[in-house]
Chains A and B, each alone.
Chain A
Amino acid sequence: MNTQEKKSWKEIPMAGVCWVPSTAYLTGDWRTYRPILDSEKCTRCMLCHIYCPDGAIAWKAETNEMVFNYDYCKGCGICEVECPVDAISMKLEGEG
Chain B
Amino acid sequence: MVLTTQKESKAIALNGDEAVALAAKQCDVDVVAAYPITPQTIIVERFSEYVHNGEVDTEFICTESEHSALTCCLAAAAVGARTFTATASAGLALMHEILYVTSGCRAPVVMAVANRALSAPINIHCDHSDSMVERDSGWIQIYVENSQEAYDSIIQAFRIAEHQEISLPTMVGLDGFFLSHTLENVSVLPDETVRKFVGQRQIPLVKNHEGKLVPYKLDPENPITIGPLDLHDYYFEHKRQQEEAMRKASEIIRKIHDEYANISGRRYGNGRVDSYRLEDAELATICLGSTAGTVKTVVDQLRAKGVKAGLLRIRTFRPLPVQDILEALQNVKAVAVMDRSCSFGGYGGPVFHEIRHVLYDSGTHPHVVNYIYGLGGRDMSQLLVQEIYRDLARILETGKIDKSIQFIGLRE
Contact = CB atoms under 8 A, between A and B. Distances in A.
In the complex, A touching B (Cβ < 8 A): yes
Interface residues of B, number: 27
Interface string A1-27: 001001111001111111111000000
B106 interface: yes
A15 B239 CA distance: 9
A6 B228 CA distance: 17
Interface string A27-71: 000000000000000000000000000000000000000000000
Given A6-B234, A9-B241, A16 B228 contact: yes
A1 B221 CA distance: 30
Interface residues of A, number: 15
Contact of A14 (B167, B208, B211, B230): B167
Contact of A13 (B105, B206, B210, B244): B206
B207 A17 contact: yes
Contact of A15 (B210, B226, B233, B236): B226
B196 interface: no
Contact of B209 (A3, A8, A9, A18): A18
B104 interface: yes
B234 A12 contact: yes
B8 interface: no
Contact of A9 (B167, B208, B224, B240): B240
A25 B104 CA distance: 25
Contacts of B204: 14
Contacts of B220: none
Contacts of B230: 16
Given A14-B167, A15-B106, A17-B207, A9 B225 contact: no
A19 B224 CA distance: 8
Contact of A12 (B105, B208, B237): B237
Interface in B205-263: 206-211, 216, 224-228, 230, 233-234, 236-238, 240-241, 244-245
A21 B208 CA distance: 9
Contacts of B241: 9, 12, 14-15
Contacts of A20: 209
B105 A15 contact: yes
Contacts of B104: 15-16
B237 A9 contact: yes
Contacts of A16: 104-105, 226-228, 230, 234, 238
B167 A21 contact: no
A6 B237 CA distance: 10
Given A14-B106, A14-B167, A14-B216, A19 B209 contact: yes
A81 B225 CA distance: 34
B249 to A, nearest CB: 14
Contacts of A6: 233-234
A1 to B, nearest CB: 8
B98 to A, nearest CB: 15
A7 B236 CA distance: 12
B206 A17 contact: yes
Nearest to B227: A16
A25 to B, nearest CB: 12
B224 A17 contact: yes
B165 to A, nearest CB: 10
B394 to A, nearest CB: 49
Contacts of B167: 14-15
Contacts of B106: 14-15
A15 B209 contact: no
Given A6-B233, A12-B234, A14-B167, A19 B207 contact: yes
Given A9-B238, A9-B240, A9-B241, A17 B208 contact: yes
6 contacts: A9-B240, A13-B208, A14-B106, A15-B104, A15-B105, A20-B209
Shortest beta-carbon contacts, A-B, top 8: A9-B237, A15-B106, A13-B206, A18-B225, A9-B240, A17-B206, A21-B209, A13-B207
Given A15-B105, A16-B226, 11 more contacts: A6-B234, A7-B237, A9-B236, A9-B237, A14-B216, A15-B206, A15-B238, A16-B105, A17-B216, A17-B225, A19-B211
